[in-house]
Amino acid sequence: MATQVVMDHNGDTRYDFDPNNPQALQEAEERCRQVTGVGFTAATRIPLENRW
């Protein structure tokens, strides 16, 4: 299971999706395009143990 987090001035909204489900992945990609299209920045969280 993966989680897409959309943060704004009100806090954040979390969308859980199965990256192995083509429809769920397509919806997550579309959501990403929508929010980056209006100025949000896309980022990936790196686990702490992989940072050093």
CB contact at 8 A, 31 and 25: no
The model's pTM = 0.77
Write the pLDDT tens digit of every residue in 6-45: 998 899 999 999 999 999 999 999 999 999 999 999 998 8
First to last CA, the chain: 25
The number of domains in the chain is 1
Q: Which two tokens stand for residue 3?
A: 């989680």
- Structural domain boundaries, residue 44: 2-50
Beta bridge partners of 49: none
Where does 1-52 have alpha helices with state H?
Answer: 22-37
